[in-house]
């Protein structure tokens, strides 16, 4: 493959993966000024950040523009994750992939709504993996967790949205900016948390 063909191929692969994951990225509003993103994880389930789902009845808008009030199933402010149920919304669910194959320098992409721009794509690379040194993290409970540390430009409105790798897998959940770096909850940890909370919820319902 010629160099130009490789660049053009990589370019169309980026737009294809952005377009695909945009269908699974929702808008989340709790209160008039609180816009965030969320990942459609099941037919009626949305995974997002706890700080995005700030009240019990956030409004979810699907990629096709339909809006419904969602119900909060679980919320963990320390890990900054929240799980919502929303019915009768045309969600296009994605599965959560693993982030443990990521290495510094690999390409990553984020989809979200930075400063209200709906479905915007950000492109960057992995800065580092593993527990971030406390010097790069704000004080608080986040210090004891693993984070994807990304060299990727995001802004308020990206929170809760997906981070993808070059294969198009959802490898994380955009969560915060610290020391200029974008920090994301790794996909496998978000999946483990959400699965456990969903099971607990089903047990208590039966």
Contact set for another protein, span 14-33 (CB under 8 A): 14, 16-17
Q: In what order do the strands lie in the sheet with 45-48?
A: 67-69, 59-61, 25-29, 35-42, 45-48, 81-85, 71-76
Question: In angstroms, how far is CA 73 from the centroid of its own chain?
Answer: 17
172/48 Cα distance (integer angstroms): 11
**200 is an interface residue for another protein by CB under 8 A:** no
Contact between 181 and another protein per CB under 8 A: yes
Instruction: Please choose, out of 63-71, 74-82, 84-92, 176-184, the segment that lies near another protein by the rule CB under 8 A.
Output: 176-184
Q: Residues near 159 by Cβ (< 8 Å), separated by ≥ 6?
A: 36, 37, 48, 49, 51, 52, 112, 174, 175, 176
**Active site (annotated) includes residue 51:** yes
> Which span sits near another protein by CB under 8 A: 41-49, 110-118, 179-187, 196-204?
179-187
Contact positions with another protein (CB under 8 A) in 101-130: 103-107, 124-130
Q: Is 80 a catalytic site residue? A: yes
If one asks whether residue 144 binds another protein (CB under 8 A), the answer comes out as no
**Cβ proximity to another protein, 9 vs 31, nearer residue:** 9
Nearer to another protein, 20 or 68 (CB): 20
**Sole window of 13-21, 37-45, 60-68, 81-89 interacting with another protein (rule: CB under 8 A):** 13-21
Q: How far is CA 153 from CA 42, 135, 163, in A?
A: 28, 20, 12
Tell me which stretch binds another protein (CB under 8 A): 49-57, 71-79, 84-92, 99-107: 99-107
Q: How far is the CB of 28 from another protein (least distance, A)?
A: 27
Measure the CA–CA gap between 70 and 5, rounded to whole angstroms: 45
DSSP of 125-194:
EEEE-SBPPGGGS-SSGGGGSB-EEEE----TT-TT-EEEETT--EEEEEEEEETTEEEEEEHHHHHHHH
Given the residues 34, 80, 113, 122, the one annotated as active site: 80
Catalytic pick among 24, 30, 51, 165: 51
Residues that bind another protein (CB under 8 A): 1, 5-7, 9-10, 13-14, 16-17, 103-107, 124-131, 133, 135-136, 149, 151, 165-168, 179-181
């Amino acid at each position: 493959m010629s160099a130009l063909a490789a660049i053009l191929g990589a370019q169309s692969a980026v737009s294809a993966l952005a377009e695909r994951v945009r269908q699974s990225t929702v808008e989340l509003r709790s209160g008039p000024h609180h816009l965030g993103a969320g990942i459609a994880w099941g037919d009626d389930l949305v995974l997002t950040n706890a700080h995005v789902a700030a009240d019990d009845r956030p409004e979810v808008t699907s990629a096709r523009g339909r809006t419904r009030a969602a119900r909060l199933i679980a919320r963990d402010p320390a890990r900054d994750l929240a799980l919502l149920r929303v019915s009768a919304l045309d969600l296009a669910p994605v599965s959560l992939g693993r982030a443990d194959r990521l290495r510094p320098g690999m390409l990553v992409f984020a989809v979200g709504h930075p400063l209200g721009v709906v479905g915007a794509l950000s492109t960057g690379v992995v800065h580092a993996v593993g527990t971030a040194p406390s010097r790069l993290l704000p004080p608080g409970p986040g210090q004891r967790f693993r984070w994807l540390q990304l060299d990727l430009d995001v802004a308020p409105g990206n929170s809760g949205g997906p981070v993808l790798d070059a294969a198009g897998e959802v490898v994380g959940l955009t969560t915060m900016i610290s020391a200029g770096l974008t920090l994301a909850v790794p996909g496998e940890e978000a999946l483990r948390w959400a699965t456990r909370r969903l099971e607990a919820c089903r047990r208590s319902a039966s």
